[in-house]
Structure 1
Amino acid sequence: GRPARVQLACLVDRGHRELPIRPDYVGKNLPTSRDERIQVELMEVDEVDRVLLKPASEEESK
């Protein structure tokens, strides 16, 4: 059957809403412009825990 409720969690909420959906659980609110990107690195994969704010590359902004 269908679940009674669906909840959304995100590590970083940039605030850019294109759909009327917002996360129920947010690790960090980080307002950005549309030409900025968030890169999340995790200890288990990248050997460091950090969140980076980067400019979008030309390919990503097209």
Structure 2
Amino acid sequence: IKSFLTQRLMEMGNEETASLQNQVQAVAPLVLQQYPSDAIQFMISDLSSAIFLLSNRKARDLIMLLNSK
């Protein structure tokens, strides 16, 4: 998901893909069109925080404990 959002953000900021983006948005569902680049950046930030929390040492230790039963 993080890679997809990062790629989407890069595409939105790249002028070379602007015409392709306009063509895609013409046929894309409304849910894909409604997010501006700052909202996508916020999603990436939230997702990065969640990944960090799930992969830190305490979380890994808890997962190891749960799986050891």
TM range (shorter): under 0.3
Q: Relative contact order: is structure 1 or structure 2 higher (C-alpha 8 Å, sep ≥ 6)?
A: 2
Task: Calculate the TM-score normalised by the size of structure 2.
Answer: 0.22
Bigger radius of gyration among the two: 2
**Higher normalized helix content (fraction of residues):** 2
**Higher normalized strand content (fraction of residues):** 1
